[in-house]
């Protein structure tokens, strides 16, 4: 996968893109990343990328011209006929999630456009295949969102992790949260690892993990239960947990 980013702060990408998994993916040749300075597509002495909004109002907007010209150039690169998917980051875009990460990880080439100030002149969206947001909060620009999306997408490219990340993730995709996990030591500051995990009884461990995943989802993310497939016994377990919590009772082991 090739990722090109357009930004007025290309240096923001240096740390994340050259660290850990994203660096390894590039070294393995599974992922190519380039950050381009939008100011390289300006023509004035001050290399202006922003201007005041027509009709008045607070703040500045990203101008059309540098963005259109940069996209003209990147999309027409003759050494790379791979069609690009152009993504704009904006607080009013579709919320990024794991399904979108999977969708993007299968694409050959992404161009991500990061704005600053109060966002873009509306006409830039003529060039958008996708408008993405991370969630319902306002960042100062699209750069951090682009890095989050790169991170989530690149780990799904086959060969990037030791294991196939998407295969590994799928084993958890029963609509529930993950079960709790522990590593050595077995006792730390009086905190014990659940004895079943030390028992060596793999059937019992599997059953315990499933039960924990159900309980934890009911407690922390009850909204997810609607989309999960539970047995009748598991539904019982969930409703008894909810009953306990309204009466203030606790279950042994909680």
Task: Give me the least distance between CB of 24 and ligand JFH, in Å please.
Answer: 27
Q: How far is residue 85's CA from residue 103's CA, in Å, rounded to a whole number?
A: 11
With binding defined as CB under 6 A, does residue 10 bind ligand JFH?
A: no
Q: Does 116 bind ligand JFH (CB under 6 A)?
A: yes
Cα angle 32, 36, 42; round to 5: 155
Q: How far is the CB of 122 from ligand JFH (least distance, A)?
A: 12
Other residues' Cβ atoms within 10 Å of the Cβ of residue 224: 13
Among 141, 213, 214, 217, binds ligand JFH (CB under 6 A): 141
Q: Is 133 in the site for ligand JFH (CB under 6 A)?
A: yes
Query: What residues have CB less than 8 Å from 160, skipping those under 6 apart?
Result: 21, 24, 25, 28, 30, 31, 154
Residues 210 and 178: beta-carbon distance below 8 Å: no
Cα distances from 67 to residues 57, 84, 128, in angstroms, run 22, 15, 11
Q: Is 138 in the site for ligand JFH (CB under 6 A)?
A: yes
Q: Does 226 bind ligand JFH (CB under 6 A)?
A: no
| 57 touches ligand JFH (CB under 6 A) | no
List the one residue from 22, 111, 124, 134 that touches ligand JFH (CB under 6 A).
134
Q: How far is the CB of 156 from ligand JFH (least distance, A)?
A: 20
Q: Judged by CB under 6 A, does residue 66 bind ligand JFH?
A: no
Among 23, 69, 91, 107, binds ligand JFH (CB under 6 A): 91
- When asked if residue 203 is in the footprint of ligand JFH (CB under 6 A), the reply is no
If one asks whether residue 90 binds ligand JFH (CB under 6 A), the answer comes out as yes
Spatial separation of the C-alpha atoms in residues 210 and 114, rounded to whole Å = 41
- Whether the Cβ atoms of residue 149 and residue 133 lie closer than 8 Å to each other: no
Residues lying near ligand JFH in the complex (CB under 6 A) are found at: 89-91, 115-119, 133-135, 137-142, 145
């Amino acid at each position: 996968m090739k990722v090109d980013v357009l930004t007025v702060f290309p240096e923001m990408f240096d740390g994340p893109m050259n660290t850990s998994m994203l660096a390894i993916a590039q070294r393995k040749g599974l992922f190519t990343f380039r950050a381009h300075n939008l100011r390289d597509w300006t023509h004035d002495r001050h290399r202006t990328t922003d201007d005041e909004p027509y009709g008045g109002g607070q703040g500045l907007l990203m101008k059309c011209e540098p963005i259109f010209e940069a996209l003209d150039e990147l999309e027409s690169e003759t050494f790379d006929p791979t069609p690009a998917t152009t993504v704009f980051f904006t607080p009013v875009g579709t919320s990024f999630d794991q399904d979108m990460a999977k969708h993007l990880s299968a694409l050959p080439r992404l161009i991500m456009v990061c704005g600053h100030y109060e966002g873009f002149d509306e006409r830039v969206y003529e060039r958008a295949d996708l408008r993405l947001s991370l969630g319902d909060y306002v960042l100062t620009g699209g750069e951090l969102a682009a890095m989050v999306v790169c991170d989530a997408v690149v780990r799904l490219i086959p060969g990037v992790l030791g294991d196939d990340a998407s295969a590994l993730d799928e084993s958890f995709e029963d609509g529930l949260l993950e079960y709790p996990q522990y590593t050595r030591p077995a006792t730390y500051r009086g905190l014990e690892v659940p004895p079943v995990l030390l028992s060596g009884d793999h059937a019992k461990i599997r059953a315990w993990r499933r039960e924990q995943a159900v309980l934890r989802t009911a407690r922390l993310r009850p909204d997810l239960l609607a989309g999960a497939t539970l047995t009748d016994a598991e539904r019982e377990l969930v409703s008894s947990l909810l009953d306990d919590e309204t009466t203030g009772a606790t279950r042994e082991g909680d």
